[in-house]
Amino acid sequence: MIRVLIADDETLMRAGIRLILENDPDITVAAEASDGRQAVELTRQHRIDVALLDIRMPGGDGLKAAEQIARTASVVMLTTFGEDSYVAQALKVGATGFLLKDTPPQELINAVRKAAAGEPILAPQITRRLIEKHLTEPDRGSAARARIDTLTETERNVLRLVGEGLSNAEIGEQLYMATGTVKAHISRILPKLECANRVQAAIVAHDAGLTRS
């Protein structure tokens, strides 16, 4: 069972998200919070697997809460604000993903499942802008290439597929590895790249020119 926390200062928004998620038999909404401080405390109390956090809330915003919650749970920022600055900040503090509040119900359920598995989630329109922004910034490529010099050839191949958005199972199929082996490689890749999560590693892969996009 995937234990979810919903943090949003709008009661109706929390109720709507709960209704969507609890249609899935493998997901339970274990806690609800109306502000960032409460979200942090409830995550500790209820052994949360995935936290869905609004960006702007009273009592400590979602970004501040995400930085603490990401130490023990996967964090997905769920907001109406799609500005690049929020995306960059969310990823920097360790968020696994970033979705807009108009995300269709089934995509929200799928996102929670992916987050629980440690896989990155970004709304497609956000992904495109983020990658375009990073690819046009000067000197990012050389810095990223220096970072991947620490990786073995196998780790580079895994990182390339992470950068292309593949799941652990899909990476395993392409590289003829067990899913557990892929997870083990990723657990070694992240500290080598000084990345907090797969999304940050995917950006390094793009910056270093490993991916086709």
Helix axes 11-21, 105-116, angle to 10 degrees: 80
pLDDT at 45: 94
**Per-residue confidence at 96, pLDDT binned at 50, 70, 90?**
confident
Helix (H) or strand (E) holding 28: strand 27-33
Helix residue ranges, H only, the chain: 11-21, 36-46, 62-69, 84-92, 105-116, 124-136, 140-148, 153-163, 168-175, 179-193, 198-207
Distance CA 94, CA 96 (A): 6
Name residue 100's beta-bridge partners.
79
pLDDT in tens, 135-180: 555 556 788 888 899 999 999 999 999 888 788 888 999 999 998 8
Measured distance CA(131)–CA(202) in Å, rounded:
10
Instruction: Give the 3-state secondary structure of residue 90.
Output: helix
Give the residue-averaged pLDDT of 173-202: 89
Tokens of 11: 């009661």
CA distance 48 to 211: 33
Locate 92 and state its tokens. Answer: 């920097």
Local confidence band at 184 (pLDDT 50, 70, 90 cut-offs): very high
Q: Is 93 left (phi over 0), alpha (psi -120 to 50) or beta?
A: alpha
Ordered structural domains, the chain, with CATH: 2-123 (3.40.50.2300), 137-207 (1.10.10.10)
